[in-house]
Amino acid sequence: MTEPTPPRARRPLTLRDVSEASGVSEMTVSRVMRNRGDVSAATRARVLAAAQRLGYVPNKIAGALASQRVNLVAVIIPSLSNLVFPEVLNGVNAGLDGTGLQPVVGISRYEPEREEKVLYEMLSWRPSGLIIAGLEHSDAARAMLRAADVPVVEIMDVDGEPVDSVVGISHRRAGAEMAEAIASAGYRRIGFLGTKMPMDHRARKRFEAFTGALARSGIEIADHQFYAGGSGLKKGREMTEALLRRSPDLDFLYYSNDMIAAGGLLHCLDAGIDVPGRLGLAGFNGIELLDGLPMQLATTDACRREIGQKAAEIIARCAETGACDGGERIALAPRLSPGETLFRA
């Protein structure tokens, strides 16, 4: 870790500079810059002119320290490679739009220690709110979340005990519903393909509930394979091929995300496998970008954007009223869409 920036050469402009240039007190300049209080149109214009001419940009650090107010909302997510989290961020952006609040993003890489570090780092900026993916955190992280005098919204998942508020879907429910849909459609030899579990609690919960629900229908998972690393079409193809080679009698494959499911679909079509007649397929997330595949993939919409937006709205409400009594719990309904790869022909 190197040191942050040493002070730079030219002295940055301050309120005082504008004050002197416009012949008005610093306080009045401050009022103009913030559109606060009553300032005569004349002084106002004079101050703005001076500020613009000098190229003055207020120092929010000083402002925040003095006012004890920070217009930042910390958002902590595991990854940006996942395609899912950018959508959540879009939702957050939408929910914060017009509130004067700005999201600041931190990446935890699915590593608890790193999440802890990022959390500490972000809390040290005293944000107006904190949005964090998942309900599973290290003890230290939970302690920080509780100790921080900030509204906290845990997102994506509602299966567990939130520190404060929570917005998400039940991944257990999503997994169970998919299992039921698959079983009712008549599939019996079911395989699972997904990310390595310790890294991804939500995928794990889906998997557990999936197998649990299958068991209630008297079905046991016939085969499964976990992988680490990124999820692309190619990975989906390769893993699907390998799994089918190993267990040729599978009649359904449930994937932990749409991208590898799409890869699997493309492999099956190439291999001349009858989908969904001989083999059914389903993914997870409901990635819109993938609408337009040769067949529409069965999947569950994880409401990513909506989750981000609702979480942001909770923070925004707290920031406005200044007081948030209780944690809100918002459980959105994961919508299963069978597409064209789930019903047996």
Partner DNA sequence: ATGAAAGCGCTAACAG
Partner DNA sequence: CTGTTAGCGCTTTCAT
Taking CB under 8 A as the criterion, the residue among 15, 50, 51, 89 binding a copy of itself is 89
225 forms part of the interface with a copy of itself (CB under 8 A): no
CA dihedral 258, 260, 263, 269 (to 10 degrees): -70
Choice between 17 and 136, CB closer to DNA: 17
Q: What is the CA radius of gyration of the chain?
A: 26
288 forms part of the interface with a copy of itself (CB under 8 A): yes
CB of 58 to DNA, least distance (A): 5
Choice between 66 and 147, CB closer to DNA: 66
**Which of 140, 161, 256, 137 is CA-nearest to residue 202?**
256
Partner whose binding site includes residue 323, from a copy of itself, DNA, none (CB under 5 to 8 Å by kind): a copy of itself
d(CA 227, CA 235): 9
237 forms part of the interface with a copy of itself (CB under 8 A): yes
69 forms part of the interface with a copy of itself (CB under 8 A): yes
Burial class (CB in 10 A: 0-12, 13-18, 19+), 47: buried
Share of the chain residues as helix, strand and coil, in percent rounded to the nearest 5: 45, 15, 40
d(CA 136, CA 188): 33
CB of 11 to a copy of itself, least distance (A): 8
Choice between 99 and 247, CB closer to DNA: 99
Q: Are 235 and 229 spatial neighbours (Cβ–Cβ below 8 Å)?
A: yes
d(CA 86, CA 82): 8
Q: Bridge-partner residues for 299, per DSSP?
A: 337
d(CA 241, CA 232): 14
Choice between 263 and 334, CB closer to a copy of itself: 263
337 forms part of the interface with a copy of itself (CB under 8 A): no
CB of 9 to DNA, least distance (A): 13
Choice between 189 and 234, CB closer to a copy of itself: 234
292 forms part of the interface with a copy of itself (CB under 8 A): yes
Choice between 274 and 291, CB closer to a copy of itself: 291
59 forms part of the interface with a copy of itself (CB under 8 A): yes
Window 131-190: residues binding a copy of itself (CB under 8 A) = 143-144, 146-150
